[in-house]
Amino acid sequence: MTHPTATHGPPRDHYDVVVAGGGPAGCAAALTLSRAGRTVLLADWATGPPKIGEALVPVARLLLHDLQIADTVLTTDHLPCHGNHSAWGSTALHTVDFIRDPYGHGWHLDRPLFDRALRTAARKAGVDVAEHTAVRRPVRRGDGTWRLTLRTTDTGPRTITCRWIVDATGRRAAIAVPAGARRHVEDRLTAHHLTLDALPGATDGHSLVESAPNGWWYTALLPSRRRLVSYFTDPDLFTPGDFRRGLLTARYVAPTARLHEFGTTSRLRRAPAHSAHLDHVHGDGWIAAGDAAVAFDPLSSQGILTALYTGLGAGQAIDAHLRSTPGALEAYTAKIATARTAYANAHRIAYTQESRWPDHTFWSRRQGAARSRGGWR
């Protein structure tokens, strides 16, 4: 089976902008630029296991309306999220309901469906979408353009040129780092997650977070009515046996997960969840968005929201820069810095609220870093 490189006429040899990465950040940037009249190629590599269990907070409606896609990507196939339960800092269970939120409820996303809907919206807006395609070997040329290779999983490589590249490749920042940016990794948080089999009649519309001596748990019902159970800790503090032992002793997650009733046919998976940022988010002909620019701890529930926000901002910055608007790129840098500062403050407060296990390595690392202002230790 072949995947078309472009969706609007014959493939181009030159674009104003190539966006590397077809997730929320890349799609938001591509949509913004195409609607501004720029020629855009969105290259989506989409390899590895699909992302699951991600939530979208209610305020994201504003960004989706700004991108003119709220009515097309928030379908009934996603599961409404009506609030969050948490046992953090004590054994008491605290609940935040979205019933009074001015933007309504949030969503537990069918993430592959959500991303496909974003790419479909990009196509409809005039973006050329290259599925299963990676951007390789970008070279900055003397005339101020990039020469790069598009490599797909089922066709030969193709060389194109462009004026700008958006790095939306996730935490690895595959364009920005080779271009000279440095990634600052602030911790080593890793997610270990298991998807439990569907239980007929399951209707829970809340997520649940519960802290533990060497990390914290998260569980939520997925749109498939399967249940996701995730444990977040540092790699050196985890062995596979820890997952089941810890789950069975979790005061709230254990009865919610009802492992003996759900059962599981899936295996335990691992994914990076650390906080990180680039020392600069744009350079000569490139700009970073999403996790490539700034990656947040999932405890914040800000991942997809930040991806949409930075993708929109990156697209606006490139368009303004190409129109010779003074300070457009610097304004984008300031937006990222403001978002990162707000996140860092909230992150520090959240982790210092859990004081029951000060001598456990997981918590002493984070609370020590907060006190020293020196980041990861």
Q: How many CB atoms lie within 10 A of CB 229?
A: 26
Angle between helix axes 24-35 and 111-124 (nearest 10 degrees) is 10
DSSP one-letter string for 105-146: -EEE--HHHHHHHHHHHHHHTT-EEEETEEEEEEEE-TTS-E
Q: How confident is the model at residue 263 (pLDDT cuts 50, 70, 90)?
A: low
Per-residue pLDDT, 204: 81
Distance between CA atoms of 325 and 115, rounded to whole angstroms?
Answer: 31
**pLDDT average, residue stretch 189-196:** 93
Q: Are strands 206-212 and 190-196 parallel, antiparallel or unpaired?
A: unpaired
What distances in angstroms separate CA 179 from CA 32, 33, 167, 285, one per listed residue? 24, 22, 11, 10
Burial of 357 (0-12, 13-18, 19+ CB in 10 A): middle
Tokens of 65: 């309306």
Q: How confident is the model at residue 16 (pLDDT cuts 50, 70, 90)?
A: very high
Q: Can you give the residue ranges of every domain in the chain?
A: 14-77+110-186+276-340
**pLDDT average, residue stretch 248-252:** 93
Per-residue pLDDT, 65: 94
**pLDDT average, residue stretch 225-240:** 94
**pLDDT average, residue stretch 37-51:** 86
Asked if 39 and 12 count as a contact pair (C-beta separation under 8 A), the reply is yes
Rg of the Cα atoms in the chain: 21
Residue 8 has pLDDT above 70, yes or no: no
Per-residue pLDDT, 199: 77
Residue 191 has pLDDT above 90, yes or no: yes
Superfamily of domain 14-77+110-186+276-340: FAD/NAD(P)-binding domain (3.50.50.60)
Could you report the per-residue pLDDT of 120-165, keeping only the tens digit for each? 999 999 999 999 999 999 999 999 999 999 998 777 899 999 999 9
Asked if 159 and 136 count as a contact pair (C-beta separation under 8 A), the reply is no
pTM above 0.95, yes or no: no
